[in-house]
Chain A
Amino acid sequence: MTILGIETSCDETSAAVLRDGVLLSNITTSQLFHSQYGGVVPELASRAHQRLIVPIVEEALKKAGVNKSELDAVAAVYGPGLIGAILVGLSFGKALAMGLQIPFVGVNHMEAHILSNLIEDPKPEFPFINLTVSGGHTQLVLVKHPLDYEMLGETKDDAAGEAFDKVAKMLGIGYPGGPMVDKLAAQGDPKYVDFPRPYLDENSLEFSFSGLKTSVLYHLRKIQFDPAKQNGALVQNLCASFQASVVDVLIHKLIMAAKKYRVRDIAVAGGVAANSELRRRLLERAKKEGLRLFIPKFEYCTDNGAMVAMAGYLKMVEGRTSDLELTAEPNLELQ
C-alpha cells in the first residue's frame, strides 16, 4: 500500500511517500528551499503553502520513485492548526484523491506527531507514554494502540517551545530561540538563578510555562538587563538556568506518567525533542528508571509529511478513510 502524506497545518509545507509502512521520501519547505533556492525564510500562513504544495508533492513523488497512479491513498492533516494553512493541504489532498479515484484519509496533526515514533527502528511497544513538545504544543499522551490515545495533560497557557522563543527574545539572542538557548546554555551554569519549576499540583500532568517566562522577565528587570549590552557569561547562565527549569518539569511529568500507567517505553516528539539537555538528562533518567526512551530523528520531530503518511497508513489498514466533505478543524482535539 503506497500513501502520500501532506502536512500544512502551520508554517511548514511537507509531503512524504510511504509504502507498506516504509518511508520512501519526506520533503519539507526548508529542505527544498535549501537545495533549490538557497535558504529563503518561509513566510507565515497560507500563501506560502499555496505556492509550495505542488512542487513539494512532486518532489516527494520523484524522490520516492513513485508515479501518482501508483498511490493507493492520500492523507492530509485537517487540524489542529491555522485554518487557512490547513485548508491548502487538506483541499489539495482531497482533490488529488478524488482525481485519482483513491481513498482520502484525514489526519490529526497531534496524532501524527505521536506516530512519528513508528517511522524508523527502534520503535516503542504499546502501550507507551508520548510527550509532544513544540512551539505550539505540550501534550502528554498514553498511547494504548496505534490509533487509541488517552490525553493525560496539556499546557494551560504557553507551549514549552514558545517559552524558549520568548525568553530568547527577552535575552536578545534571536529567533527561533530554542536552538540558540540550547547552544548558549551548554556553556552556562544551570544553578545560576533558581527559577521556579511550574509543577502545578503534586500529581498534575498538566503544564504551564507562562509564569516561568514572567519569572525570567522579573529577574531581567531586577538586574536591569540590557540586551544591547549583553554579557556573554551572564546570558549563558540565564539560558542554562531557564532551560533547567523547563527540562526538570518535562522530565518529571513524563516519568511520573510512565510510573502511573506502568509502561516500559516512553517517547518524545515535536521540535523541542531536539533540545540536547532534554535528551541527555532524559536518557540518563530513563536508564535509571529502567525505561526505554525513543526520540525520532530531528526531521520527523518538526512538522513533516512522513508522520502524516504513517498515520494515514495505519488508518487505511483499519479501513478508517475519510469523507471528501471533511473540513478543516483548527481546534481539533486528540481522540
Chain B
Amino acid sequence: MTQRRTMTRSEDETRALARAFAAELRRGDVVALSGELGAGKTHFVKGMCEAFGVHEPVTSPTFVILNRYGGKDSTGNELLLYHLDLYRVKSLEEIYDIGYEEIFYSNGIAFVEWAEFLGELLPPRRYDVRLSFGEQEHERTIEIHSVEDKRDDASSVSRRKARA
C-alpha cells in the first residue's frame, strides 16, 4: 500500500490535484472517496473527469445515484467513467440492485462517493481518497492510498508490469 497526503487551499487546488492524480488511473480502476458532507468529494471527481476530457457538467449524483460520462483515455480511445454516490443507499442489497459488479469490474473507471457504505463489496484493489477539513475554511487534507489486492498479489504485480 502506498500513501500520499496533500493539503489543498481551495476548490481549484483540489481539482488540480485530482487532475494530476487521474494520470495514474487505468481502465478497470476504482476510486473510493470518503469524507464528510461538503468535504469536496464531488469536486475531486470533477477534476478527474476534466482530466479525461469530459465536457458536460459533472453534477452531484446523490439523487440519481449513478451518472455515466464519456471520456477519452491517454491514447484518445473512448473511456466510460462511472460516478456513483451511495449517500442515499440504506442496505448492501440496494448496492447489488444498482449493478455494482458491472460498474466496478468494467473496462471503464469508477468513482464512488460515500464508498465506506460498500463494506465487504469494496473492491480489494482500488484507490482510497479521503478528504477532511483543515484548520482554515477552504483547506482540505487529501489522503490517497493505493490499495493492492493482498489475496492476489502475483497477478496484480503482473498486471502492473503489463501496463508499464
A46/B97 in contact, CB under 8 A: yes
A68 to chain B, nearest CB (A): 29
B64/A158 in contact, CB under 8 A: no
- A143 to B66 CA separation, bound complex (whole angstroms): 28
- Closest B residue to A159 using CB positions: B63
- Specify which chain A residues have a CB less than 8 angstroms from the CB of B69 in the assembled complex: 331
A161 within 8 A of B: yes
- A247 to B148 CA separation, bound complex (whole angstroms): 47
Question: Which of the 9-residue segments A121-129, A211-219, A292-300, A317-325 touches chain B?
Answer: A211-219
- Closest B residue to A49 using CB positions: B97
A45/B65 in contact, CB under 8 A: yes
B57 interface neighbour in A44, A154, A169, Cβ under 8 Å: A154
A82 interface neighbour in B37, B57, B59, B64, Cβ under 8 Å: B64
B34 within 8 A of A: no
A210/B42 in contact, CB under 8 A: yes
A8 to chain B, nearest CB (A): 13
* 12 pairs, CB–CB < 8 Å, chain A vs chain B: A43-B91, A44-B94, A45-B98, A47-B97, A82-B64, A83-B68, A157-B42, A165-B62, A166-B37, A210-B43, A217-B38, A330-B64
Instruction: List residues of A (35-61) whose CB comes within 8 Å of B's CBs.
Output: 43-47
B63 interface neighbour in A43, A46, A161, A214, Cβ under 8 Å: A161
Given A44-B65, A162-B60, residue A213 in contact with residue B98 (CB < 8 A):
no
- Counting residue pairs across A and B whose Cβ atoms lie within 8 Å, the total is 84
**Which residue numbers of B lie inside 8 Å of A, CB to CB?**
37-38, 42-43, 56-57, 59-60, 62-69, 88-91, 93-94, 97-99, 133, 137
- A134 to B60 CA separation, bound complex (whole angstroms): 13
- Closest A residue to B94 using CB positions: A44
B99/A84 in contact, CB under 8 A: yes
- A156 to B56 CA separation, bound complex (whole angstroms): 10
- Specify which chain B residues have a CB less than 8 angstroms from the CB of A156 in the assembled complex: 57, 59
A134 to chain B, nearest CB (A): 8
B64/A44 in contact, CB under 8 A: no
Most B CB atoms within 10 A — which of A45, A134, A156, A162?
Answer: A45
B94 to chain A, nearest CB (A): 5
B38/A81 in contact, CB under 8 A: no
